[in-house]
Amino acid sequence: MTGYEGEAGLALARRYEAVSAPDLHGPVADLLPSAPSRVLDVGAGSGRDAAWLAKTGHAVLAVEPSATLRAEGARRHPDPRITWVDDRLPDLTRVGGRFGVILLSAVWQHVAPPDRPVAFRALTGLLAPGGLLLISLRLGPPDLARGMHPVSVGGASCACGRVRPRDPPGGAAAGQAGPVRDQLGHRRAPGSDMSLADVYLQHRVHLLERQVSILFETTRVLNPEAGAELTRLERAWRAELDQLHAAFLRGDLAHFERREARVRGGG
pLDDT band of residue 247 (cuts 50, 70, 90) is: confident
Whether pLDDT at 98 is above 90:
yes
CB 89 within 8 A of CB 110: yes
Q: How many domains does the chain have?
A: 2
> Do residues 163 and 225 both lie within one domain?
no
Q: What phi, psi does 133 have (nearest 5°)?
A: -110, 115
> Do residues 167 and 56 both lie within one domain?
yes
> Do residues 131 and 258 both lie within one domain?
no
> Do residues 26 and 113 both lie within one domain?
yes
pLDDT band of residue 171 (cuts 50, 70, 90) is: very low
Sign of the alpha-carbon dihedral angle for 67, 68, 69, 75: positive
Domain interval for residue 207 = 202-264
CB 40 within 8 A of CB 100: no
> Do residues 130 and 20 both lie within one domain?
yes
Q: Is the residue at 113 inside a domain? A: yes
Q: Is the residue at 196 inside a domain? A: no
Q: Is the residue at 59 inside a domain? A: yes
Whether pLDDT at 143 is above 70:
no
Q: Is the residue at 133 inside a domain? A: yes
Average pLDDT over residues 43-48: 96
> Do residues 80 and 133 both lie within one domain?
yes
> Do residues 15 and 125 both lie within one domain?
yes
Q: Which of 191, 217, 239 is the last residue of a domain?
A: 191
Mean confidence (pLDDT) of the chain: 77
For the domain that residue 32 is a member of, what is the CATH number? 3.40.50.150
> Do residues 154 and 234 both lie within one domain?
no
* Predicted local distance difference test score (pLDDT) of residue 1: 60
Comparing CA positions, the residue from 25, 19, 84, 87 lying closest to residue 53 is 25
Whether pLDDT at 261 is above 80:
no
- Name the residue with higher pLDDT: 80 or 158: 80
Q: What global pTM score does this model have?
A: 0.59
> Do residues 150 and 245 both lie within one domain?
no
Average pLDDT over residues 8-25: 91
Whether pLDDT at 184 is above 60:
no
> Do residues 227 and 135 both lie within one domain?
no
Q: Is the residue at 160 inside a domain? A: yes
Q: Is the residue at 64 inside a domain? A: yes
Percent of the chain with pLDDT over 70: 70
Average pLDDT over residues 129-153: 75
Average pLDDT over residues 229-257: 75
> Do residues 236 and 121 both lie within one domain?
no
| 21/34 Cα distance (integer angstroms) | 17
Q: Is the residue at 1 inside a domain? A: no
pLDDT tens-place string over residues 55-65: 999 999 999 99
Average pLDDT over residues 80-102: 95
Q: Is the residue at 197 inside a domain? A: no
> Do residues 122 and 32 both lie within one domain?
yes
CB 102 within 8 A of CB 42: yes
Q: Which of 191, 210, 226 is the last residue of a domain?
A: 191
Q: Which of 169, 191, 213 is the last residue of a domain?
A: 191
CB neighbourhood size of 97 (10 A): 9
